[in-house]
Amino acid sequence: MNLFSRSLFRRVGAACLLSVLSATLCLAAETPRYEDHLKLALVNMQPVWGDKDANLKKMVRMANEAADNGAQMIVFPEMCLTGYAMEQGDIKRADRMQIRLAETETGPSAAVMTKLAKERSVYIVYGYPERIGSDKLNVYNSAFVAGPDGYLGSYRKIHPFGSEVIWCKTGTEPFSFDTPWGPMGISICYDTYNYPELGRYYGALGCRMILNPTATSWAYYSNKNLKDGKPLNDGFPTSGNNTEWVNRFKSRVEAVVVQSGLFVASSDLAGAEYDAKGTFMGTCFPGGSCVVGPSDDKPGTLTYFDYFGTDPGAFATEGIAYSTVDLSRATRNSFANYIKTDLQEGNLYMPDLYAKWFGNLAASGKFTSLNHAMSGAAAQ
């Protein structure tokens, strides 16, 4: 190789190297770098039914306690601001507690929790009945979100359960918000457990965690064992009476983790619901707030999920469960399964194809919900 050839080779090589480095830097610039370690505070809360002021004071106290303990993301249960139970009897929708106590997303309770989130530099999620606009009946079962920079938005439950439809309207839009740990998706209770479409959407969007404010008591029968008209142990789990609920709950959240390779952080109501006069409102909740996510996928692994120091069966009182999770475990493999062969090339996760299926299904009018009547309200 003569001097000219060597010089040309060096110039071409340098140009190629520069091109590769430029492409790498562009790719790095386009790929967000998120923090992986997140400390969660997951709240078991026993609200006073219909007493928003008392519940807000409790939420402020618990949020400050969580912030004092280093929590970065604080999750409260579904409908914790007002309580969950529906009054029995023929009551006009406008007279129901959830309608009477509904607030807008910038209402007085929202202002208090937004101020706290900004002052303590934390993220706060809580459940509440949300009124939109001036129509008093335009109310949703919603989850409020605020962070260090202020109010971030509200998610409106897309799949109300059972008798919830007596008072709330049906949401139509997913909701996610940006954080230093990447986007976070929100689904409420029945959304999470029975409708994988929403969780899959969040995973495909890039969420490594779903936040799940919940009021789940399906298979928890404490409200059936009464003494003098009130449940034993104030409605909190005792003598293993939450076993059936634990089995049902765990199987549902673990399915989300295994399917989508992400975390689910749940906060549940706890204990019996009483109004300010001490009247039992007919509902009891087992608590069990927890986080579940992917475990190591390597030889010797016995389960592909972990609860990271939380335990839905053991956490059976009002209080806060803390857990620090490593979100790098949320690999979301089923969304990144790229294939390239002599026969085909592309992603195995194909939302354009699924959109076609579901579009055809919706147009046909032959999906189950049109023909399946729900036999009354059941315990969620």
The catalytic residues are: 78, 157, 189
Closest CA to 191 of 178, 200, 204, 180: 200
319-326: strand order across its sheet: 150-156, 139-147, 123-131, 73-75, 37-44, 319-326
CB 151 within 8 A of CB 119: no
Q: 306-333 b/e with 16+ CB inside 10 Å = b?
A: bbbebebbebbebebbebebebebbebe
d(CA 97, CA 87): 8
d(CA 282, CA 230): 9
d(CA 201, CA 184): 12
